[in-house]
Amino acid sequence: MIVQLNLQCDVPLYLQLRNQIVLQIGEGLAQPGERLPTVRELAAQLGVNAMTVNKAYALLKQEGYLVQDRRAGTAVAEHFPPAADFTAKLERDLSLLTAESGLRGIDEETFLALCRKQYQRFGAGARTAKEGSGCSL
């Protein structure tokens, strides 16, 4: 797993780590069932406090992206929570992105084209196509 944290960024380190792990799962770089480094290993690799990694892992477990077993360690979940559980968060996040886009002069067509591009990259249809062809991003 290749993770790079930006120490100058306003986003907390545990959230940067959480986001990068979700992106790697979405891109197929981290496969369901794949073991992740231990908290101590990843903290040492990144040069951060173990509590930072622990907090990111705990959040990812709570969100259903990771599973933890005391004997087997931490792994990417085999199945993710249904979309119905995610819809409210998606709407909140899209509201903010839509507002910021409008304020910065991005027109609806460009906004929707960017959404389509990202959905094709990470969406359920892309995951099915990747699984069917055996390739990954």
C-alpha pair distances (Å), 129 with each of 26, 29, 121, 122 = 13, 15, 10, 11
Confidence at 123, pLDDT banded by 50, 70, 90: confident
Say if residue 124's pLDDT is above 70: no
pLDDT of residue 132: 37
> Which residues are registered as beta bridge partners of 66?
76
pLDDT band at residue 137 under the 50/70/90 scheme: very low
pLDDT tens figures, 73-105: 999 999 988 877 788 889 999 999 999 999 999
- Report pLDDT digits (tens) over 7-30: 999 999 999 999 999 999 998 899
Contacts of 40 (CB under 8 A, 6+ apart): 50
Q: How far is CA 80 from CA 10, 25, 48, 132, in A?
A: 29, 11, 28, 19
pLDDT at 81: 80
Res. 114: pLDDT tops 70: yes
Reported pTM: 0.80
